[in-house]
Amino acid sequence: MARKIVFTSGKGGVGKTTLVSQIGRKLASLNNRVLLVDADFSLNNLDLALGVENFVVYDLFDVLSGNCRIRQAFIKDKYEKNLYILPSDKLSANSSFSAQNIKTALLGVSKLFDFILIDSPAGIDNGFKRAVLCADEAVVVINSSFESLRDADKVINIIKSYDIDKVSLILNRARGDLMMSGYGVSAENVKDLLKCSLLGVVPDSDALLTLDGKKLSRLSSADKAISMICNKILTGRGDIYDPTLKYKGFFGSIKRSLRKSN
């Protein structure tokens, strides 16, 4: 049976869709069978994040309405043979389909996958609840902004009141240069503040920002951070990416001053 993990957040635009697609690709490249489900019915972008938006024929709406079988709606990723996407183009935020409807649909294919990653909408409305209730584990994506941290605390408390086995955090778009200058919120601070375990840290990275569905360069720091997260997902152990590392030492201080002047 697949592990079903929902990626959610209080604040929007923190990187859920980006992380679902890149963590999905990385897990698939490590020989895991992975399905990505777009449960963000209003602002569905998972197809775009993986560059398969032109291949959508059937979607989750068709599956839930009985217009097609679930496997007919799967789109195979361009780069990873073990990765499939279940898009949600035709659904709207106030769709009447429930988490139970989606869970039942996924149950039939759960044996075919090792992981089902669910992309949730931001906020704490029905769409969020629907997405979270489909999963057994939750990852709350945050960035260092105070709004994102405050909203995340509310989200974590709601998730903890559901039947979810595990909740953890990913600090995305971490700015090592700011952390070094004492401005950014450190991973340790975040863990303490939100009383939640940390699954990983992903740096603010141009490689991710300019990806457009293509494959992430193996040489990028974001790729390294995502590999470390996948290792933690797979083994339950491992280190967390340190975004301050490349800003340490003599060359690091030059990089830091260059970045700050941007």
Ligand X SMILES: Nc1ncnc2c1ncn2[C@@H]1O[C@H](COP(=O)(O)OP(=O)(O)OP(=O)(O)O)[C@@H](O)[C@H]1O
- Contact residues for ligand X (CB under 6 A)? 9, 12-18, 40, 43, 45, 122, 172-173, 202, 204-205, 208-209, 222
> Do the beta carbons of residue 44 and residue 135 sit within 8 Å?
no
How is residue 254 written in tokens? 């030059």
Ordered alpha helix ranges (H), the chain: 16-29, 46-49, 60-65, 99-107, 126-132, 146-160, 176-180, 187-194, 206-209, 221-235, 249-260
Tell how many helices (H) and how many strands (E) occur in the chain.
Answer: 11, 8
Query: Cβ 88 to Mg ion, closest distance in Å?
Result: 11
70 versus 247: smaller Cβ distance to ligand X: 247
Binding flag, residue 72, other proteins (CB under 8 A): no
Q: Which of 2, 5, 11, 17 binds Mg ion (CB under 5 A)?
A: 17
43 versus 193: smaller Cβ distance to other proteins: 193
Distance of CA 164 to the CA centre of its chain: 17
Q: How many CB atoms lie within 10 A of CB 188?
A: 9
157 versus 253: smaller Cβ distance to other proteins: 157
20 versus 201: smaller Cβ distance to other proteins: 201
Query: Cβ 71 to ligand X, closest distance in Å?
Result: 26
Query: Cβ 57 to ligand X, closest distance in Å?
Result: 23
> Do the beta carbons of residue 253 and residue 52 sit within 8 Å?
no
Binding flag, residue 231, other proteins (CB under 8 A): no
Binding flag, residue 244, other proteins (CB under 8 A): yes
> Do the beta carbons of residue 77 and residue 36 sit within 8 Å?
no
Alpha-carbon distances, residue 213 vs 22, 41, 99, 206 (angstroms): 10, 20, 28, 14
186 binds, among other proteins, ligand X, Mg ion, none (CB under 5 to 8 A by kind): other proteins
Alpha-carbon distances, residue 230 vs 102, 155, 182, 204, 220 (angstroms): 25, 23, 29, 18, 16
245 binds, among ligand X, other proteins, Mg ion, none (CB under 5 to 8 A by kind): other proteins
- Sheet of 137-142: strand order equals 75-76, 83-86, 34-38, 115-119, 3-8, 137-142, 166-174, 197-203
70 versus 232: smaller Cβ distance to ligand X: 232
63 versus 118: smaller Cβ distance to Mg ion: 118
Q: Which of 128, 178, 163 is nearest to 6 (CA)?
A: 128
182 versus 236: smaller Cβ distance to other proteins: 182
Q: How many residues bind other proteins (CB under 8 A)?
A: 23
Q: Which of 54, 146, 210, 237 binds other proteins (CB under 8 A)?
A: 146
Residues 170-189 that bind other proteins (CB under 8 A): 179, 182-189
Please give the residue ranges that form the binding site for other proteins (CB under 8 A): 146, 149-150, 153-154, 157, 179, 182-189, 192-194, 239-240, 242, 244-245
